[in-house]
Amino acid sequence: KEDWIETVEWLEEELQQEARDKQAVLPLDKKGARLFYTVNPREPMFFPLSILAVGKIFYAAGESWTFSSDNYDVTNYGYYSGDDEAAAIISDRLVQSMKKLGCKTLILAECGHGLNANRWEAPEWLSKKYDFEVKSILEIVADYIRQGRIKLDPSLNPNPVTLHDPCNLVRLGGIVEEQRFILKNAVSHFIEMFPNKEKNFCCGGGGGQLAMTRFSQRRLKAGQIKADQIRKTGAKIVAAPCHNCIDQL
């Protein structure tokens, strides 16, 4: 907990410097905030600038939001291991934090398993309907663009960009168009892979294979299909809204 709080405080200082605004904050345990934002646990340790990037977006949008100092993890290792009882306990921690802080919408960071666990499975595990909304960070950013709450200049990103569709996020989670809408507003040259969306090829690192060295050769062989698909687009940048997919790619 202490490390998490220190990371948030450090990133808040960075946000204030970049925004040139001492009132810019990364709020912790803010009661009555509209959004409750979770993070992928890789981010505080390995990708803290991803947290800062989200803070910039919320700042630019003038959003009312908060982190929790106790329950901030979007992932669910009960779900990973097939233990529904443990998965329910872990999911309920976020539910209880939502209630404690009085937030209206739970925002899930990049994690396909986290999306499915918290949005689709948890109400079944807990045998109750949520009395709050659950959205992916992709959905809320797309909303900001549509509403004019943030404005993007695609000319600042002139390199050709393609998009990888993560299996959990797209095929299972149903988040398909939001990432495309964001990219079309954020870059000058967006190129689709084919096949794409629900029929896109897996990166080859799913199902836990990325973490298990005994599957390395099989994983790389499967990933060759995706590598060839990416090369055919001629893109210089691959956008992949999934930490596991990014590591594999």
What CATH number is given for 2-145 in this structure? 3.40.50
Q: Where in the chain is the domain with CATH 3.40.50?
A: 2-145
User: pTM for this one?
Assistant: 0.94
Over the stretch 101-139, which tens digit does the pLDDT of each residue have?
A: 999 999 999 988 899 999 999 999 999 999 999 999 999
Express each pLDDT in 58-92 by its tens digit. Answer: 999 999 999 999 999 999 999 988 999 999 999 99
H-helix or E-strand spanning residue 93:
helix 84-101
**8 A C-beta contact, residue 244 and residue 206:** yes
Of residues 105, 97, 95, the one with CA closest to residue 34: 105
Characterize 180-194 residue by residue with b for buried, 16 or more Cβ atoms within 10 angstroms of its Cβ, and e for exposed. bbbbebbbeebbebe
Inform me whether the pLDDT recorded for 237 exceeds 90. Answer: yes
